[in-house]
Amino acid sequence: MTSRRNNLAPTLFLLVTLLVPLTLYPFTVVIDAGHGGAEKGAVQADLIEKDLCLHFARKLSTLLEKRSGIKVLMTRDDDITLSIEDRAKKIAAVKADLFLSIHFNIDVFMLAETRGIEIYYPADDFSKPPENAFSLYHRNNRSFAAGKLLRDRYLKSDIFTVWKHDLNMFTPRDLKLFRLTATPGLLLELAYLTAPEDRARIENEQFLDDLARFLAATIAEYAAKK
């Protein structure tokens, strides 16, 4: 018995060595529900962006938490006012691998035909000191890779093909939240409150569930590749 147990020891050691890093270092995702508290965001009739963001962020977090190897945190889980600086600090504090900032849009000209989802990734940022340039380059690359995977999967997803929810934009943008964090991240404008077709979809819980499920699956796919 003793010798048999000894023979198993190297195998067990190898297993532990292989498995421990997986559990010690999960892929950490921060879900940032846009606006909140005193800051309502976009308002269109009875739809208030800050509430929609939180509602959707909770759905997405719940689904992502069920995925193995993924740890999820939210910048807010209540109707509180949070500055962009506060959000950036929270993202940096947990050393996140990726953050997703959740928003809903309005067309400033109130055009009903402006609709669909928008995926923004960080633009090159030359306002940072040169010593940050290397890490920003990687940050931008990773953000782009995550956004591109989302875009590619989106065009084949039920959200696009069955629900007919347009992909309005996949583009870089110089946003304050991107400028304040060195973490890879995306900002998603999920739908236009000014487009009647988008409004009908976001008032349908089934659509929001399907969209959250699509995002959770794609983020898990991205996390597994990392």
Residues that bind Zn ion (CB under 5 A): 34, 41, 103
Whichever of 103 and 201 has its CB closer to Zn ion, that residue is 103
Smallest separation (angstroms) from Zn ion to the CB of 104: 6
Smallest separation (angstroms) from Zn ion to the CB of 190: 10
In 3D, which of 32, 114, 105 has the Cα closest to residue 73?
32
Smallest separation (angstroms) from Zn ion to the CB of 94: 22
Contact 210, 154 (CB under 8 A): no
Whichever of 83 and 132 has its CB closer to Zn ion, that residue is 83
SS3 6: helix
DSSP secondary structure code for residue 156 in this structure: T
User: CA-to-CA distance for 132 and 136, rounded, in angstroms?
Assistant: 6
Angle between helices 205-225 and 133-154 (to 10 degrees): 130
Smallest separation (angstroms) from Zn ion to the CB of 24: 35
Whichever of 34 and 184 has its CB closer to Zn ion, that residue is 34
Smallest separation (angstroms) from Zn ion to the CB of 183: 19
Structure tokens at 190: 């999920």
Whichever of 27 and 99 has its CB closer to Zn ion, that residue is 99
156 C-beta neighbours (distance < 10 Å), count: 9
User: CA-to-CA distance for 29 and 221, rounded, in angstroms?
Assistant: 13
Whichever of 40 and 226 has its CB closer to Zn ion, that residue is 40
Q: Which residue is nearest to Zn ion (CB)?
A: 103
Handedness of CA 148, 29, 36, 52 (dihedral sign): positive
Smallest separation (angstroms) from Zn ion to the CB of 154: 20
Whichever of 47 and 217 has its CB closer to Zn ion, that residue is 47
Whichever of 82 and 220 has its CB closer to Zn ion, that residue is 82
Chain-centroid distance of CA 157 in Å reads 17
Contact 47, 96 (CB under 8 A): no
CA distances from 6 to 2, 9, 15, 16, 72 (A): 6, 5, 15, 16, 40
Smallest separation (angstroms) from Zn ion to the CB of 75: 13
